Amino acid sequence: MTAPGKPTKTAPVTEAVADVVREWEEIAGSPSELEAFGRAMANMVKDLGLSPAEVRALATKGTSAKELPCLLEALRISIRALAEKEPMLLNDLRRTCAVCDHKLECDADIAAGTLIPSYQRYCLNVDTLDALSHDTNFVAES
């Protein structure tokens, strides 16, 4: 498990939160252990800039943002450049994708090859993705 408040460069923020939530579910310790774990969780959430609602959503919906790489590729946004130049922005995109209620629609559009004309109707990341797709620092080379 990643230490609370210190996700690795390769582990997205949502995975770190999910790890802590899973550990929380496994704890059967004393009240003082539970209190210490609760403080550690609160500090991690604060350090990551997550709201209580985001933590609840991540805990209940899981951490899958598997659609995001497909969308970035379709928009010709370099995930590598994004990870190198704006890792926190990439984590925000992943977190938003992970809690999205339109996964079935997005997955269907990916499978049908209709993601580009369709994602703007439902994607919570649409504004950020549109800005990135026009930024030469992040446009993937052909």
Q: And the tokens for 29?
A: 């310790």
pLDDT tens, residue by residue, 96-110:
898 888 989 999 999
Residue 28's pLDDT is 53
Domain ranges across the chain: 13-61, 67-133
The C-alpha atoms of residue 122 and residue 117 are separated, in whole angstroms, by 11
Residue 65's pLDDT is 85
The C-alpha atoms of residue 139 and residue 141 are separated, in whole angstroms, by 6
**Which residue's structure tokens are 């770190």?**
16
Mean pLDDT of the chain: 78
Residue 9 has pLDDT above 50, yes or no: no
C-alpha 115: how far from chain center = 19
**Residue 15 vs residue 11, higher pLDDT:** 15
pLDDT level of residue 5 (50, 70, 90 thresholds): very low
Instruction: Write the secondary structure of the chain as one string of H (helix), E (strand) and C (coil).
Output: CCCCCCCCCCCCHHHHHHHHHHHHHHCCCCHHHHHHHHHHHHHHHHHHCCCHHHHHHHHHHCCCCCHHHHHHHHCCECHHHHHHHCHHHHHHHHHHHHCCCCHHHHHHHHHHCCHHHHHHHCCCCHHHHHHHHCCCCCECCC
pLDDT level of residue 15 (50, 70, 90 thresholds): low
pLDDT tens, residue by residue, 48-82:
777 777 776 666 655 678 899 999 999 999 999 99
pLDDT tens, residue by residue, 34-51:
677 677 777 777 777 777
- Select from 82, 66, 67 the least CA-distant residue to 139: 82
**Residue 9 vs residue 15, higher pLDDT:** 15
Residue 142's pLDDT is 62
Residue 49's pLDDT is 77
